[in-house]
Amino acid sequence: MKIEGIIRTRHNMAFCIAESVATDNLSEMDTRAENGYVITHITSTRIRSVIASMDDYITNITVAEELCKKTQSA
């Protein structure tokens, strides 16, 4: 069974955030910036993997957003 999840979040600095979190993606993840949104698609055959990946990703988005804000204001 294939399990899929998509997280779509709106950001003023979507490109910066997408580039920041994409470096930490697993092979089952794809992240891109599109029209002010960061969109990540996650696939796996195990629900636990999808949930763990989404949990890590949300933490990474939070950190990336703060870092992008700091670099923009520098």
Query: Cα(first)–Cα(last) distance of the chain, in Å?
Result: 47
pLDDT value at 9 more than 70: yes
Structure pTM? Answer: 0.86
Mean pLDDT of the chain: 92
> Is residue 31 pLDDT above 90, yes or no?
yes
pLDDT at 74 over 80: no
Question: In Å, how far are 3, 25, 64, 71, 74 from 20, measured between CA atoms?
Answer: 25, 10, 6, 12, 17
Q: Quick one: pLDDT at residue 5?
A: 86
Mean pLDDT for the stretch of residues 47-71: 91
pLDDT band at 14 (very low <50, low <70, confident <90, very high): very high
Decide: helix, strand or coil at residue 44. Answer: strand
Q: Kindly state the tokens that stand for 55.
A: 């949990």
CATH of 3-73 among 3.40.50.720, 3.40.50.1240, 3.30.310.50, 3.30.70.120: 3.30.310.50
